[in-house]
Amino acid sequence: MDLQAKIRSLLGRSDHNYFLPFVLIVTLLVGLWMVFLSHDSLINWARAGIEVRRQEAQMQQYQQEIDAMDAQIKALSGDRDSLEKFARERYHFAAPGEDVYLAE
């Protein structure tokens, strides 16, 4: 007897008519538990995936800022005039004996 015939005979018999509804209900309950109630549920998994993508984007933004700062450090460390200009513009530094006026 092949497998399909065995399944038909089991499901067709009156004393096994409860088996198919039982399997469907248990499968539904396990599915609901996996989606909503479990610690490792699909909802938590999706939230974690969104958080990982957000943090990766933030890491990329920080890396771009670091690269820009590294380029600025390299430019400032190479030339004393550019360093002096940067300090005067950014931090309002003045040479001894100079007066600084800020207009905002």
* pLDDT given at position 58: 98
| 30-40: pLDDT as tens digits | 888 877 777 77
Residue 102 lies in a domain: no
Higher pLDDT, 96 or 17: 96
Mean pLDDT of 58-69: 97
41: containing domain: 3-91
- Is 40 within the bounds of a domain? yes
Report if residue 47 sits inside a domain: yes
User: How many structural domains does the chain have?
Assistant: 1
Lowest mean pLDDT among 1-5, 18-22, 78-82, 87-91: 1-5
Residue 60 has pLDDT above 80, yes or no: yes
Q: Is residue 101 situated within a structural domain?
A: no
What residues contact residue 41 under an 8 Å CB cut-off, 6+ apart?
34, 35
Structural domain contains residue 19: yes
Q: Which helix or strand (DSSP H or E) is residue 47 part of?
A: helix 42-78
Q: Is the pLDDT of residue 66 over 90?
A: yes
Report the C-alpha gap between 46 and 7 in whole angstroms: 38
